[in-house]
């Protein structure tokens, strides 16, 4: 039985976490999916759009984790910081509690939005209006899916971009259907010279974030 089902937005997150944790790809899977021991990792698309189609028939796990990167809203959160919230604020305003598991210290609220935040001003407005520490696009949907199956859910995210920097629209479009499209990245860099520096900063932040998340997931896997 899978004890720990880890769900990410995009294939890059799933692959990097699997590499850190020493998991093998599921050969028969049509989408990024990895397993090893009691852990399974699967990518379910931006906004968890593919969650039901890909996993409604999956065996029940002991714990479902929304994992991957997030953007900081609180100015004190540095790149690579681990975010394990006590609750998630959904786009419709519902507040969803998270499970206590693995000895990970939970703190604060994470906000799930339906769009990528492009600049620091948008982040600042949400921080002031909600008090949330960080933002993602999947956790509310993942927690709701887990609750509907009677399985506890939690969130383990790492900060890829600080409060003072958003994700420019041209770089946000590089990810499509949960997959990174290299040709779109090249196009963005040719069209906007600053895009290369922005992409490098985001990639470095993503790597630091996922390393923190992988360490926390390893702790969870040993204790649940």
SS (H, E, C) 57-107: CCCCCCEEEEEEEEEECCCCCCCCCEECCCEEECCCCCEEECCCCCCCCCC
How many independent structural domains does the chain possess?
1
Average pLDDT, integer, range 29-34: 89
Polymer length in residues for the chain = 224
Question: Is pLDDT at 193 greater than 90 in this prediction?
Answer: no
- Residue 175: pLDDT band by 50, 70, 90 thresholds? low
Average pLDDT, integer, range 32-45: 93
Query: What's the alpha-carbon Rg for the chain, to the nearest Å?
Result: 16
Mean pLDDT, the chain, rounded, equals: 88
Least confident range from 84-98, 155-169, 170-184: namely 170-184
Distance CA 95, CA 57 (A): 27
Least confident range from 98-107, 131-140, 165-174, 175-184: namely 175-184
> Which residue, chain included where needed, has tokens 């919230």?
85
Q: Residue 117's pLDDT is what?
A: 87
Of the candidates 167, 110, 177, the one whose C-alpha atom is nearest the C-alpha of residue 139 is 110
Question: Is pLDDT at 48 greater than 60 in this prediction?
Answer: yes
Q: In sequence order, which ranges of 131-168 are alpha helices (DSSP H)?
A: 139-148
The pair of three-digit structure tokens given for residue 81, joined into one six-digit string: 């910081």
Counting residues of the chain whose pLDDT is more than 90, the rounded percentage is 67
111: which residues sit within 8 A by CB, 6+ positions away? 73, 88, 89, 126, 130, 132, 134, 135, 136
Grouping H, G, I as helix, E, B as strand and the rest as coil, residue 6 is strand
- Residue 1: pLDDT band by 50, 70, 90 thresholds? low
Q: Which domain holds residue 110?
A: 4-223
CATH of residue 27: 3.40.50.1580
pLDDT tens readout for residues 58-116: 777 999 999 999 999 999 999 999 999 999 999 999 999 999 998 899 999 999 999 88
* C-beta of residue 89 within 8 angstroms of C-beta of residue 111: yes
Average pLDDT, integer, range 138-154: 96
Distance CA 61, CA 39 (A): 9
Question: Is pLDDT at 180 greater than 70 in this prediction?
Answer: no
With helix as H, strand as E and coil as C, how does 15-67 read?
HHHHHHHCCEECCCCCCCEEEECCEEEEECCHHHCCHHHHHCCCCCCCEEEEE
């Amino acid at each position: 039985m899978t004890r720990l089902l880890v769900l990410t937005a995009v294939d890059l997150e799933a692959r990097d976490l699997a590499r850190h944790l020493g998991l093998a790809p599921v050969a028969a899977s049509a989408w990024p999916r990895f397993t090893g021991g009691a852990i399974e990792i699967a990518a379910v698309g931006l906004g968890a759009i593919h969650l039901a189609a890909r996993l409604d028939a999956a065996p029940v796990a002991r714990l479902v984790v929304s994992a991957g990167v997030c953007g900081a809203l609180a100015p004190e959160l540095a790149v690579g910081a681990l975010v394990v919230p006590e609750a998630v604020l959904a786009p419709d305003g519902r507040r969803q509690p998270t499970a206590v598991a693995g000895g990970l210290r939970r703190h604060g609220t994470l906000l799930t939005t339906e769009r990528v935040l492009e600049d620091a001003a948008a982040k600042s407005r949400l921080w002031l209006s909600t008090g949330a520490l960080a933002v993602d696009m999947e956790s509310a949907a993942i927690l709701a899916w887990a609750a509907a199956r009677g399985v506890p859910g939690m969130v383990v995210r790492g900060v890829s971009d600080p409060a003072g920097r958003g994700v420019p629209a041209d770089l946000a479009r590089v990810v499509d259907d949960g997959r990174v499209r290299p040709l779109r990245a090249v196009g963005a860099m040719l069209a906007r010279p600053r895009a290369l520096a922005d992409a490098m900063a985001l990639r470095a932040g993503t790597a630091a974030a996922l390393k923190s998340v992988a360490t926390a997931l390893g702790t969870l896997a040993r204790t649940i």
